[in-house]
Amino acid sequence: MHILMTPTLMTVLTFTAWFLASYLYHGLGITLGYHRLLTHASVKLPKWLTYLICSGGYLALMGSPAVWVSVHRLHHQKSDLPGDPHTPMDGFMHALVGWMTNVHQFQTDEEILRQAKDLVNDPVYKALGLTHSASQAQLCIAACVAFRVMLYIIGGPIAVIANVIAAVTVFFSTQFVNTICHLPNHGYKSFDSNDNSRNVWWVALLTLGEGWHNNHHGIPKSARHGMQWFEIDVTWYAIALFEKLGLAKDVVLPTRKVIEARQNMHLAPNLPKKVKTLETVGK
């Protein structure tokens, strides 16, 4: 009995280790890399570390970083208005996956160059593509396949299965931010952000903190999205760790004055009554 259980336990432990490592690698690749680092410049990290973190996003099928950034900046400019590339106002399935097939109708390739002008001259981001073209997407798919082949050689089938499950979960969790976190009947608002963005706890858990999406629309440049004690924000914890290690610089945190000025607490009836201010943020 004991001899039979050992390999099973080893398999479970191996799978769990690969899954958790993959989830953090791909998850932080999107939330910390593509989103808080590249799109909003909420923090600065050394170039090598930025590339390493962003590779997790690229290998979770997020496509070219410069293109992703340009689409997300457009989303902030037109949030839930005509021209928003992935608002659920145009349909839930459109916001979940449909927009990826027709995003060029919302944004021209010239617009990408304008929106992401701080990235388009970087040789790595340039090589990964600056257009909404099939070739840009195909390059990303090819890299994703090659990465899993490499993983198979290093870690065998358990590593690949755990990694693929983690990457697919991360991929769809990111789309939940576009959909669930912009549906008026979910979660709560802490900021009057002139759109339908909401804070949704279970999306925040899945997306390492990105589900505090109304907080993010309220103060987009903040490196910290979870702004109250119960708003768990794993991406922020990673940034704080990098800061402690001396790797993170220029971490953008709003002062309490800014937060309170932008808050509109009467829009948050679901918040615990004792929580009135965002005490934990305030450098």
Q: Can you give the binding site for Zn ion, defined by CB under 5 A?
A: 197
Residue closer to Zn ion by CB (options 71, 128) is 71
Residue 251 Cβ vs Zn ion, minimum distance, rounded to whole Å = 16
Q: b/e string for 179-205 if b means 16 or more Cβ within 10 A?
A: bbbbbeebbebbbbbebbbbbbbebbe
Residue closer to Zn ion by CB (options 127, 205) is 205
Q: Tokens 């791909």 label which residue?
A: 26
Residue 270 CB neighbour total at 10 angstroms: 9
User: Which residues 6+ apart lie within 8 Å of 17 measured at CB?
Assistant: none
Report residue 88 CA to chain centroid gap: 18
**Are the beta carbons of 114 and 107 closer than 8 angstroms?**
no
Position of minimal CB gap to Zn ion: 197
Residue 117 Cβ vs Zn ion, minimum distance, rounded to whole Å = 17
Residue closer to Zn ion by CB (options 197, 199) is 197
Residue 217 Cβ vs Zn ion, minimum distance, rounded to whole Å = 6
Residue closer to Zn ion by CB (options 151, 234) is 234
What letter represents residue 125's amino acid? Y
Residue 194 Cβ vs Zn ion, minimum distance, rounded to whole Å = 12
Residue 72 Cβ vs Zn ion, minimum distance, rounded to whole Å = 5
Residue closer to Zn ion by CB (options 22, 197) is 197
Residue 4 Cβ vs Zn ion, minimum distance, rounded to whole Å = 50
Residue closer to Zn ion by CB (options 18, 125) is 125
Give the helix ranges, DSSP H, for the chain: 2-28, 47-57, 65-77, 92-93, 99-102, 109-115, 123-127, 134-179, 201-206, 213-218, 234-244, 256-262
